[in-house]
Structure 1
Amino acid sequence: MEKTTKKISWREKIHEIIYEADTQEGKLFDVILLVVIIASILLVMLESVKSFDAKFHEYLYIGEWIITIFFSVEYILRIISIKKPLKYVLSFYGIIDLLATIPMYLSFILVGSHSLVALRALRLLRVFRILKLARYTGASEKLKLAMRASKAKISVFLFFVIIVCIILGTIMYMVEGAENGFTNIPKSIYWAIVTLTTVGFGDIAPQTPLGQLIASVIMILGYAIIAIPTGIVSSELTKSTLSEDNNTQSCPTCLKEKHKDKAVFCYNCGSVLNP
């Protein structure tokens, strides 16, 4: 019996290469894109060094246009390869991809000496390209799930820290007074936050023995507090283990990922997945 195979359209092939990493072409595309993103960030950094920019400005400009054209083609291909383009355009990654592409094109619109300051600021938007790296970091999915699961616990912890800072700041205001720099309660609370987080700017410092004793307790307490959110997230990170039979297949309709191996339909919208 002869085995029949479904013919893959050019849009499905582009979708498979750009949105998925299970195929050789998809892995190669991801590697190339990662290299280009890192190169673009390096160009932005080097351009900010005046001495280097003055010497190699032309090469940096040409390199930036090559990268911009590459990102433009990638952005267009991402739009035309899915069934609902608007869903991608308005998504988080869609907006990031647009921000990574438009700054160089805006340079044609904002011309003249009066626009140079705005143009320079807009060109710095290219640094948003580093956010494109997030979609290629496999561990980011686990971290996202862990942060989401520990959101309530961390919120309670932060609320507790705020209460502690208000109490300690008020106590320091009463103990030290305005003559030692603690002129009001908000400023004393600011000092408590700075001390508790072990930053210690040194702009305000207790002078009385009791104030210094309280400050010492706050500093030691700060080291203990650092470990609490770390432990919460670490615990949830251990629990949030993704199933090993998931793959990188992306739905061409809703763009949901992490489908089961051999899955035919999307678990989110029910659309047929690319073969």
Structure 2
Amino acid sequence: MSIRRKTIFSAATRPSAVSVYSATLYSNDEDDRHLLSRYYSALYIHKADVYHVLERQQGRRTLIYHLFVFSLTLISLVFGSISTIDAWRLRLNKPLYYGELGLCIFFTYEFLLRIWSAGCLAKYRTWVGRLMFITRSVIVLDILTLLGFALSIATGITTGEFPEIILRFLPLLQMIRFLRVDRQLTSWRILKGIIIKHHQELTVTIVIGFMFLITGAYLVFIAETPIDPNLNTGSFKSMADSIWFSIITMTTIGFGDISPKTFIGKIVTTTICYLGVAFWCLPVGIIGSVIDSLFFSSFYHVF
């Protein structure tokens, strides 16, 4: 009786090939060696499959797995933020502790799988190669994150709850763990490429916007303050207040803590609002158009 199994290499990490091996009863040493070589061949294929899912960014299985990891990290970040509310602190402390314990075990197992599966590549196959793999910046971030969560969990191992000091810094660790979702740093590389390619346009728009910002702040300060500082009873006590007002006005936030009272100050404020919409949105449009073109050019290569 024989058992047959097929494993197909994925196109991203290896050529299209099929490994078919049989597990039967053999009696001599040659057949045993043959079975052993088949076993290691199949093990290599499985190792490459795991490496492809964990380290590559292509394929449906990889997309599903990283969406799952993204969901876990996002949920933990949300619960960690809610736990800082006084009304929910005591209720969520214990569930948050055991949830982080489960995530720490999960990501530790994933980390070990990454080291094991890296052996499918020739440069990482030896112990020296594994050390090279571990010293990568992304893996170092994983190690530091795991150590941080392990120490945090160890502080509450007797009570099953996080101490108050840990709850204050837990969202920081969760945000650092959230950064590991983009393991290949693709987003930062795209942003870096956009800045390098369109640095002249971005520099011009930022400089012009900054000039309008300072000019508007100065004009509002002149319009809203009297010549004698001792007679100043308005909201704009200094040039720093005017710059703060100009920033929140040009970005169309408008907190309302400071507002102009004179007619000239209101005219200047209206101009600042218009210029803020016109010029501060230009860098966003430049970056967005390049990302849109990159998305459509690479969309059909994802699957």
In the TM superposition, 1:4-83 aligns within 5 A as 7=41, 9=44, 11-20=47-56, 22=58, 26-27=62-63, 29-55=65-91, 57-82=93-118, 83=124
* Paired positions, count: 244
- The equivalent residue for 2:284 is 230
The residue aligned with 2:220 is 172
Match of 1:266 in 2: none
Once residues 242 and 214 of structure 2 are traced to their aligned partners in structure 1, the CA distance between those partners, rounded to angstroms, is 8
Partners of 2:182 and 2:270 lie apart in 1 by 40
Aligned to 2:142: 97
> In the alignment, is residue 107 of structure 1 matched against residue 126 of structure 2?
no
One-letter identity of the residue aligned with 1:54: L
Letter in 2 for 1:121: R
Q: CA deviation at 1:70?
A: 0.5
- Per-residue CA shift, 1:110-163, capped at 9, x if unaligned? 689xx9554333422123332233359998876665455334422321122112
- The match for 2:272 is 218
Q: In the alignment, does 2:258 pair up with 1:204? A: yes
Deviation at 1:192, TM superposition (A): 1.8
Match of 1:107, SS? Answer: helix
Mapped partners of 2:258, 2:299: distance in 1: 53
Given the alignment, which residue of 216, 236, 261 partners 1:182? 236
Matched residue SS, 2:261: coil
Q: 1:89 to 1:150 in 2, by over 3 A?
A: farther
1:192: which partner in 2? Answer: 246
* Pair 60,183 (structure 1): closer, same or farther in 2 beyond 3 Å: closer
- Which consecutive residues of structure 1, in runs of 5 or more, have no partner in the other structure? 249-275
Q: Which moved more, 1:151-160 or 1:45-54?
A: 45-54
Q: Which deviates more, 130-139 or 120-129?
A: 130-139
Give the CA deviation at 1:69.
0.6
Q: Secondary structure at the match of 2:181?
A: helix
Deviation at 1:80, TM superposition (A): 4.1
Q: CA deviation at 1:28?
A: 5.2
Say whether the 8 Å CA contact 2:83–2:167 is kept in structure 1: no
Partner of 1:119: 166
Residue deviations 1:208-241 (CA, integer Å, cap 9, x gap): 2222211122122222234422322233234435
Q: Aligned equivalents of 1:169 and 1:103: distance in 2?
A: 45
Instruction: Tell me the SS of whatever aligns to 1:191.
Output: helix
Q: Could you tell me how far apart the structure 2 residues matched to 1:4 and 1:27 are?
A: 24
* Secondary structure of 1:133 counterpart: coil
Who is 1:264 aligned against?
none
Partner of 2:181: 133
The one-letter code of the counterpart of 2:148 is P
Residue matched to 1:253: none
Higher relative contact order (CA 8 A, sep 6+): 1
In structure 2, the CA distance between the partners of 1:85 and 1:119, relative to structure 1 (3 Å rule), is farther
Kindly tell me: are residues 89 and 205 of structure 1, through their superposed partners in 2, closer, same or farther at Cα, counting changes over 3 Å? farther
- Report the Cα distance in structure 2 between the residues aligned to 1:245 and 1:221, rounded to whole angstroms: 39
TM-align CA RMSD: 3.9
TM-score by length of 1: 0.68
Q: Is the 8 A contact 2:213 2:246 kept in 1?
A: yes
Distance 2:114 2:87 in 1: 38
Structure 2: gaps of 5 or more residues: 1-16, 20-37, 119-123
Q: TM-score, normalised by structure 2?
A: 0.63
